[in-house]
Amino acid sequence: MMPEPAVAPMTSALDVRICGVSQSWVRDGAQHEVLSPVDLHVRGGEFVSLVGPSGCGKSTLLRIVAGLQPPTGGEVLIGGDRVSGPRSDVGMVFQEASLYPWLTATGNVAFGPRLRGVPASQRRDIAHHWLDRVGLSHSSRLYPYQLSGGMKQRVAIARAFANGAQVLLMDEPFAALDYAARQTMQELLTELWAEFRKTVLFVTHHLDEAVLLSDRVALLSAGPSARLVAVASIDAPRPRAVDGDWIDSETRHLRQLSRGQERED
């Protein structure tokens, strides 16, 4: 049985159920399994990180949850509804911010409300609100080529919130940033999550990042045929210190847990 989340999530937030999801590809006439069947329940308002080696299928699993590709087997339920394609209440933040280069920061954040038919003045207000919330009110008229990597990711996060996302899927969003920028973005994400309690599924290579941010950490084995080997609660109270012995202790525990589970199998 998977451990209960360390922080009681909001009951009104959407949950994510990954039910026996597997993924395989056919190449040269042979079937290659990327993901063995994965079962994971992310409670509404919970922050869960997926951690595993490169090539283990973390990003593939996230794309399946987002409805960007169908699984070979199993299904994903969000708020009890089966995922069959992209949803407006699910936001995706990639390692590269994927901003529209011809739009300003304001235009990028307002793009979702524009597609929903929100009037121009209202969507401008929405964009300015979220840009201010992520600390970019002074950069609202800048284009992506004028923004640093950290600023681009701030715009991407603001865009997800402006779109009304209840579930945030984040695929190594801070991996390309330097240490200082990554730490700043981790603090920002923690503040936004604490305030709005979105359901977050966060992919990272870094155990220390997962420990710092998460209620629970889901550990995937190396591929091929990667599988979920353990799910561990992070019981440290919030707000959490960015550095300290507690992170090292939790990280060592997760490494030992992962290795122990793999040896048992």
**Per-residue pLDDT tens over the stretch 150-196:** 999 999 999 999 999 999 999 999 998 999 999 999 999 999 999 99
What are the sequence ranges of the domains in the chain?
97-165
- Report yes or no: 57 and 226 within 8 Å, Cβ to Cβ: yes
Query: Is the CB of residue 37 less than 8 Å from the CB of residue 73?
Result: yes
Question: Taking CA 212 as the corner, what is the angle to CA 92 and CA 237, rounded to the nearest 5 degrees?
Answer: 120
DSSP assignment of the chain, as one string?
-PPPPSSPPPTTSPPEEEEEEEEEEEETTEEEEEEEEEEEEE-TT-EEEEE--TTSSHHHHHHHHHTSS--SEEEEEETTEEP-S--TTEEEE-SS----TTS-HHHHHTHHHHHTT--HHHHHHHHHHHHHHTT-GGGTT--GGGS-HHHHHHHHHHHHHHTT-SEEEEESTTTTS-HHHHHHHHHHHHHHHHHH--EEEEEES-HHHHHHH-SEEEEEPPSSSB-EEEEEE----SS--SSSHHHHHHHHHHHHHHHHHHHH-
Q: d(Cα 156, Cα 108) in Å, to the nearest integer?
A: 8
Report the pLDDT value the prediction gives residue 142, as an integer from 0 to 100.
Answer: 97
Query: What pLDDT, on a 0 to 100 scale, did the predictor assign at position 7?
Result: 38
Q: Within its chain, how far is the Cα of 196 from the centroid?
A: 15
CA distance 118 to 124: 9
* Residue 208, CA distances (Å) to 66, 153, 180, 241, 248 in order: 25, 20, 15, 12, 7
**From its phi and psi, is residue 259 left (phi > 0), alpha (psi between -120 and 50) or beta?**
alpha
Residue 239: is the preceding peptide bond cis (ω within 30°)? yes
The C-alpha atoms of residue 117 and residue 247 are separated, in whole angstroms, by 45
Where does residue 26 rank: exposed (0-12), middle (13-18), buried (19+ CB within 10 A)? exposed
The model's pTM is 0.90
Structure tokens at 73: 């087997």
Instruction: Tokens 């998977």: give the residue.
Output: 2
Through-space distance between the first and last CA atoms of the chain, rounded to whole angstroms = 17
pLDDT of residue 131: 97
Closest CA to 129 of 117, 137, 121: 137
What pLDDT, on the 0 to 100 scale, is given for residue 260? 63
Sequential pLDDT tens for the chain (265 residues): 333 333 334 446 899 999 999 999 887 778 888 899 999 999 999 999 999 998 889 999 999 999 999 999 999 999 999 999 999 899 999 988 889 999 999 999 999 999 989 999 999 999 999 999 999 999 999 999 999 999 999 999 999 999 999 999 999 999 989 999 999 999 999 999 999 999 999 999 999 999 999 999 999 998 888 999 999 999 999 888 887 788 999 999 898 888 766 555 5
What does the pLDDT read at residue 261?
A: 62
- Percentage of residues of the chain with pLDDT beyond 90: 74
